Copies of this chain bind each other. A is one copy, B any other.
């Protein structure tokens, strides 16, 4: 006991399962069990090397895999952080379709297919931290890049944060801009669902003919 080495355990080198995969499972578990919560800074590469007795090569191979699975986010000079659920990632990480498309040199545009206010379903309410039945604003937008339909997006927001949202014309403006400037909504309380990120030809043509279909749950 007294001389127990401060390490989370060496990885099994003789095992047929590669070290980077063993390490990946270990880190994955820490994330999934909540030992490492979303937003947490996780140990740096050199620390992990020491903790598990592997080279930086192996640690980085593990990290790359976790990044591609969307479990962690890395930032040069700062560190590696546990990613929230994808939704949160894109919102809290300040994902903006408009900016994203512009960065690629394309012209972004949104078509509002439907919007309004409705009572929150149980599922939506729980995600937004509301009581079931509380009123939420919904918004379904077709997002286009250079007039090419790219994404169908449905957003829910608590109505109490968005009085008058339906009068706003935010075509061409990022939704978060509108909310931030005009309503000062706390971003972390917004949730969105994203559908159909695929942009293949057929999907596009299918989206194009959508008139204003009633897609609300």
Contacts and interface: CB of A to CB of B under 8 A. Distances in A.
Interface string A185-217: 000000101111010111101101111011111
A105 interface: no
B217 A213 contact: yes
A62 B206 CA distance: 31
Interface in A58-93: 64, 68, 85-87
Contacts of A202: 85-87, 127, 191, 193
Contacts of A87: 200, 202-203
Interface residues of A, number: 33
A209 B201 CA distance: 30
A10 interface: no
A168 interface: no
A96 interface: no
Given A85-B201, A208-B123, A216 B213 contact: yes
Contacts of A198: 86, 194
Given A193-B202, A198-B86, A201-B85, A215 B215 contact: yes
6 contacts: A85-B202, A86-B202, A123-B205, A123-B208, A152-B195, A193-B202
